Amino acid sequence: MLNFLNFSIKFLIIFLLVVVFFVFSTLWYFSIGLPDYKKLSNYQPPISSRVYSQDNKLIAEYALEKRLFIPYDSLPDKVINSFLSAEDKNFFSHPGIDARGILRAIINNLKNIAQNKRLEGASTITQQVAKNFLLTNEVSMKRKIKEAILAFRIERAYSKERILELYLNQIYLGQGTYGIAAASLEYFDKSIKDLNYSEAALLAALPKAPSKYNPYRYPETAKFRRNLVLQNLADNNFISKKDYKKFKESKLKLKKRKIEIVNEANSYTEEVRRTVKNIYGFEKLYSQGLSISTPLNIEYQIQALKSLRKGIEDYDKRRGWRGPITNKIKNKNWENKLAQFKLDPTLNWKFAEITSTNNNKITFKIINNKKKKNLEGVLLLKDINWTIRQKKSIPETHKVGDILFVKKERSFWKIKQYPKVNGGIVAIDPFNGNVLALVGGFNFKTSEFNRVTQAKRQPGSAFKPIVYAAALENGFAPNSIILDAPFVESQGIGLKNWKPENYGKKFYGPSTFRKGIEYSRNLMTVRIAKVLGLNKILTLSKELNIYDEIPELLSVSLGAAETTLMNLTSAYAPFVNGGNKINPKLISRIQDRRGNTIFQDKDIKCIGCDKFINNDDLLPKIESKSKKVISEETAYQMNSILQGTVKRGTAKKLRSLKVPLAGKTGTTNDNYDAWFIGFSSNLIVGVYIGYDNPKTLGKNETGSKAALPIFKDFVENALFKDDFSDFEIPENIYLTSLNYDTGVKSAIGEKSSIIEALKLKDINNINKNTLVSTNDSDKIIKFRQFY
């Protein structure tokens, strides 16, 4: 008996040693190559970056996962209690693995196997953190052992609060949402602090199987699972039996989150996205929760899009009707044809099939109608006249079965045609460079190409103010006399001579400097450039960032080199702000996820703001960091001349607005591109119209006809009378009455007299005449020279 006892003790000791050896060997084996759990200390869950307008409205969101981060201290007890009851009620007492939970799961699973039911797990929240952050979703004993080892290590390294914070911000809860904050918004459109126990229990019910318990798709299954969580809450004494019954009987009250993002701002926000991505990289933009503030004015942006579309559609109508999209009767693949069109929802265009026609109207029905209703409508003759060719009737032009675009405007249906031409519009604050509105094309969904920032085209006459500003800086005056006559320039041996022409191919003889801009005279501009010297013009255009590299050709003075609408529009700012260069800004500030400012664009500095000064004579001063590119006097003279373009010249269509405006039209050779850059005392607006694959816009389609009306429509609808004020006149500018045609003194009110803005030296030399050679022996420029 004694021998048997000794043998049993020895056997037990050996068995225990083997077990211990086996356990340690297993732990050692599975510990090899385990992920480093220490990286959880610096873990920051990926959260979305957001873009805001100047009035802090959300205009764009960039994310790989829908997630908002909530620190533990901000987690409500209702949410914590619900998740603990659903997932791990012993979380705050176990060391990472719940032995009681494992034992319970084993017993229950024996019953489940016998009853052919689904097996249940016993993973703790810590184990789920180990799996979600450090391991894969592989279903195997090997992964479970690794999960357990990591759970022990995580518990030793981190507090329970940190582990729960990681879990609740990382867990997937369906509908593309990660973390409880995003899920709360997605299912209830509420902040988590506003959830009741019924709602918190539904969220806690989702981690087991987010798709299976999706309350939008399977409300009854979701409700059943929610009630199980409520039962656990009651069993754990987090809620009373009375509350349990009340919540159990309550219906699922879901409210899907609606993010009102301004679709009209797609061009603007895409430019912001590209800029931030280029500076900080893809990963930081899409996962680091940046808060990006922009100077976007939503009202300006919406109106800019409307005005651009109206102008493009008006131009397209002038080019005539090109026919229907297709004919449903003749084309069996008509649905494929319609599928090729990707329309921006802000267009509100519908596909319509013609059901009948007569000489007075078209009757149609909407197709692809999401509301599944048979919506019918009528197009009246007055609204489709532009589609009817001469001597033809409605039935001859439009056939039954034709599919076309229609849109309801002010209770009447209008026929629409998708334009082939495109364009852009931008509005900029001339004092700080803030881009207040930017539209890069007719339909962002079809083409994300930005015709404000990416399209490089010849600006034509819209570049001339830069030539004239350089001339005013170097001795010319608004009343200098320039010869408007044929001009010939040799281009080298074997090459044809260059012979520029005015629009209309007319010559006007000696004319004032001012007229050269107001009536956009090419020959006067070329002569000014010849006398002035190209170097001065090129230097100023580079300082204003209009061009990067410019050929030293006289044709550059007529806008023959390529630039963008953004660069040219911002180059007009010195004419408004007193001669200072601006840099257009789409981003005001960028903050990281914790609210730290990582970028802020400032063109001003405060002298003395870092010191406390209790002395009125030593108050801090604000100084602009903007570079002075032309004098204040030259800036106003150009401003005055460009106001003259509106009063008398190529932009006189704006006179009917009866507000202080200035600007310049631009048209390139053969009417390939149309431009208008206009401004008030506090806003610059640039407009461009042209084909993406360059071709002529057509006869008479100039900047005045194709681009200027877009500017006018924007100003009429986006601005109020109070937004306008007179342009500020510098102290060293002298206003005097001069004859508009001759540039000599005249009495105020005399025929052809205007009020001219002159510098002091211009006043002192107002009656001097000088002849200056152009280095072309038979061509002479006559002007008043002031030195």
Catalytic residue numbers, as ranges? 87, 461
Q: Which value, in Å, is the radius of gyration of the alpha carbons in the chain?
A: 37
Q: How far apart are CA 520 and CA 715, in angstroms?
A: 23
- Please give, one letter per residue, the 3-state secondary structure of 128-166: HHHHHHHCCCCCCHHHHHHHHHHHHHHHHHCCHHHHHHH
Residues in contact with 124: Cβ distance below 8 Å, sequence separation at least 6, in sequence order: 88, 90, 91, 94, 96, 97, 98, 101, 151
Tell me whether residue 362 is exposed, middle or buried, using C-beta atoms within 10 angstroms of its C-beta: 0 to 12, 13 to 18, 19 or more: buried
Nearest alpha carbon to residue 580 among 445, 431, 683? 431
Spatial distance between the Cα atoms of 534 and 527, rounded to a whole number of angstroms:
11
- The neighbouring-strand residues paired with 664 are 677
Q: Give the C-alpha distances (Å, rounded to integers) separating 108 from 72, 122, 208, 312, 426.
A: 33, 11, 17, 71, 68
Question: How far apart are alpha carbons 162 and 166 in whole angstroms?
Answer: 6
- CA–CA distance, 353 with 360 (Å, rounded to integer): 17
Q: Which residue in 296, 301, 282 sits closest to 49, CA to CA?
A: 282
Contact assessment for residue 190 and residue 183, using Cβ atoms and an 8 Å cutoff = no
The phi, psi pair for 604, rounded to 5°, reads: -130, 155
Rounded to the nearest angstrom, the gap between the alpha carbon of residue 296 and the centroid of all alpha carbons in its chain is 9
Rounded Cα gap, residues 348 and 368, in angstroms? 13
| Amino acid letter for position 491 | Q
Taking CA atoms, 54 is separated from 51, 57, 298, 591, in Å, by 10, 7, 8, 15
Q: Please tell me whether residue 219 adopts helix, strand or coil conformation.
A: helix
Query: Can you tell me the distance from the alpha carbon of 172 to that of 207, in angstroms, rounded to the nearest whole number?
Result: 7
State how far the Cα of 251 lies from the Cα of 335, in Å rounded to an integer: 42
Structure tokens at 727: 């342009």
Q: In this structure, what token pair is assigned to residue 341?
A: 């069109």
Length of the chain: 787
Report the C-alpha dihedral over residues 256, 257, 260, 265, rounded to 10 degrees.
-110
Angle between helices 77-87 and 219-235 (to 10 degrees): 100
Cβ–Cβ under 8 Å, residues 161 and 74? no
Which residue, 429, 426, 425, is CA-closest to 603? Answer: 429
Q: Taken in order 313, 317, 322, 324, is the CA torsion positive or negative?
A: positive
d(CA 649, CA 519): 5
Tell me the C-alpha distance between 429 and 298, whole Å: 14
Query: Which residues does residue 241 pair with via DSSP β-bridges, in sequence order?
Result: none
In three-state secondary structure terms, 761 is helix
